């Protein structure tokens, strides 16, 4: 990476060093995000396997030492955990804007994530849940602020280097996500769970150290608190938080004292919160009397995209739960005599993204020049149909494995590819349309609303698991596939109505 830091002879006076032609601070943020994603996706690759692992299996040589939970409980915990990461992005942005500033928030978030992984590296169910909570909170804090800091490096929205800078940053995300299952996943699943979690902590530690060491290359704007709390507001927030903590402590203390506590006492409230909060946020924006008629119309149109995204992420994020369990128990773990860990399947999505994202960027431009590029509505419909199609394909290997036969890994290779193509149709344009359709008053908050679609989708999966629905059954897989394809067809059929609601946004 160091070789890419060169003198830019065409730069401003002083001939400052650059990172591939971009401000040098981009290298700092690139590496911070890469190591954070390395730790996050490494732990995610292990999570469901650790939850369902019981005693060691002498026949297969697999390690034990996990929490020996059912697949349904593991899927619920996994889904709620993912939903909380995205739910925490909203308060994370609030801390950056009103309390610490983006730079300090990212440093604190990285520390919290590292401590979370260290907690996971310690045996015991209590430390596991402490670690999970810390990683979720830290990831939410970091996610909301590090992208803002990338933007601070450039001279406003019109800086010609800005889009390229975010593209490089996106590569850092996927590099970390690609190597994590191969390294952390293999060590954790095949050698020792807690050693794998410790490697995730080490990865985040490296990211934090280089962030602190090279923080001088970041924009001074990243240290500012854009809208600091007044003393009265700070007091009000502290009182409300303290009151909420006391009420929760008294409630759960009573439940434990009466001997009624089970894991569902934690999972159900979190799952319901992940469904209620997104709806409440959208309703609050929709009912704002200060919005113009045009803005109200755009919010109505955006609800279509929000619901579509929630359905998409509900299926997509099962790549780390339902598909992972199928990979471990019913998929052959070797190709041409080469054995590999089931965690390696988790490296396929970031690999496909890095390979296909430039192809899609070129394709949309090529179609645009011919005046044939699909609009946002059609791209969303394509994404939904593709994610549904991936689960229809999934039914085939599920049926083949019904008699105990282990299917070819190429089935999952194909399914992950279909899902990634769907992601590239929906996710980038979803981010773009969110910024375009946001009412002026909620310009910053609407990006958090987009993340809440992920929260809603994952919490739907969690709620189904808590209710006892077997997400690893053929019937429920077919129902989800039909729901996604049906939603895609519905959006396409009503595209003129949605376009009318979008006004001048295309």
- CA 347, 350, 353, 354 dihedral sign is negative
pLDDT at position 100 over 80:
yes
Question: Dihedrals φ, ψ of 407, to 5°?
Answer: -85, 165
Q: What is the pLDDT of residues 243-291, one digit of tens each?
A: 999 999 999 999 999 888 888 888 999 999 999 999 998 999 888 888 8
CA distance 65 to 49: 11
What is the model's pLDDT at position 400? 94
Question: pTM for this one?
Answer: 0.89
Q: Which of the four pLDDT bands, split at 50, 70 and 90, describes residue 60?
A: very low
Q: Which of the four pLDDT bands, split at 50, 70 and 90, describes residue 506?
A: low
Half-sphere exposure of 28 (CA within 13 A, CB side): 24
What is the model's pLDDT at position 37? 93
Q: Which of the four pLDDT bands, split at 50, 70 and 90, describes residue 303?
A: very high
Q: What is the pLDDT of residues 419-467, one digit of tens each?
A: 999 999 998 888 778 878 888 777 667 778 888 999 999 999 999 999 9
DSSP secondary structure letter of residue 216? G
Any idea which of 56-70, 370-384, 477-491 has the lowest mean pLDDT? 56-70
Residue found under tokens 């469904």: 275
pLDDT at position 16 over 90:
no
The mean predicted confidence, pLDDT, of the chain is 88
What is the model's pLDDT at position 6? 42
What is the model's pLDDT at position 196? 95
Element spanning 323, H or E? helix 322-330
CA distance 457 to 404: 31
What is the model's pLDDT at position 322? 94
DSSP secondary structure letter of residue 334? E
pLDDT at position 492 over 90:
yes
Q: Regarding predicted confidence, which is higher, 350 or 152?
A: 350
């Amino acid at each position: 990476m160091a070789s890419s830091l060169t003198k830019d002879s065409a730069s401003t006076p002083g001939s400052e060093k650059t990172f591939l032609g971009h401000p040098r601070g981009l290298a700092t943020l690139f590496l911070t995000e890469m190591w954070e994603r390395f730790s996050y996706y490494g732990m995610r690759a292990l999570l469901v396997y650790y939850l369902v692992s019981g005693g060691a299996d002498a026949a297969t040589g697999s390690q034990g030492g996990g929490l020996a939970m059912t697949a349904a409980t593991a899927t619920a915990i996994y889904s709620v955990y993912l939903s909380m990461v995205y739910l925490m992005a909203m308060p994370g942005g609030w801390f950056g804007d009103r309390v610490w500033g983006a730079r300090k928030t990212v440093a604190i978030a990285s520390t919290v994530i590292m401590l979370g992984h260290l907690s996971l590296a310690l045996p015991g169910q209590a430390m596991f849940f402490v670690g999970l909570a810390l990683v979720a909170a830290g990831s939410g804090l970091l996610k909301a602020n590090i992208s803002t800091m990338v933007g601070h490096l450039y001279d406003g929205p019109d800086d010609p280097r800005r889009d390229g800078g975010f593209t490089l940053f996106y590569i850092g995300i996927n590099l970390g996500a690609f190597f994590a299952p191969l390294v952390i996943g293999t060590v954790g699943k095949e050698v020792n769970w807690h050693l794998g979690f410790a490697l995730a902590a080490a990865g985040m530690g490296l990211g934090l150290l280089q962030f602190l060491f090279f923080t001088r290359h970041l924009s001074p704007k990243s240290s500012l608190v854009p809208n600091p709390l007044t003393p009265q507001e700070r007091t009000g927030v502290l009182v409300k938080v303290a009151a909420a903590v006391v009420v929760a402590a008294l409630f759960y203390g009573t439940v434990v004292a009466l001997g009624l506590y089970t894991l569902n006492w934690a999972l159900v409230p979190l799952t319901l919160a992940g469904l209620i909060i997104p709806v409440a946020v959208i309703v609050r924006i929709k009912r704002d009397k200060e919005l113009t008629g045009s803005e109200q119309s755009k919010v109505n149109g955006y609800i279509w995209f929000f619901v579509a995204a929630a359905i998409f992420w509900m299926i997509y994020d099962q790549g780390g739960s339902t598909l992972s369990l199928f990979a471990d128990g019913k998929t052959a773990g070797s190709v041409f005599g080469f054995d590999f860990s089931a965690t390696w399947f988790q490296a396929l999505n970031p690999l496909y993204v890095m390979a296909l994202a430039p192809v899609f960027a070129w394709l949309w431009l090529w179609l645009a020049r011919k005046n044939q590029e699909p609009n946002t509505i059609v791209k969303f419909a394509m994404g939904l149909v593709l994610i549904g199609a991936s689960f229809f394909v999934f039914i085939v290997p599920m049926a083949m494995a019904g008699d105990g036969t282990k299917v070819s890994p190429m089935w999952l290779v194909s399914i992950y590819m279909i899902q990634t193509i769907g992601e590239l149709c929906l996710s980038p344009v979803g981010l773009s349309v969110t910024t375009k359709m946001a009412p002026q008053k909620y310009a910053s908050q609407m990006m958090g609303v987009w993340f809440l679609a992920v929260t809603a989708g994952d919490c739907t999966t969690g709620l189904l698991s808590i209710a006892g629905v077997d997400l690893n059954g053929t019937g429920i897989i077919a129902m989800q596939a039909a729901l996604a394809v049906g939603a895609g067809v519905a959006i396409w059929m009503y595209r003129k109505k949605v376009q009318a609601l979008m006004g001048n946004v295309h």
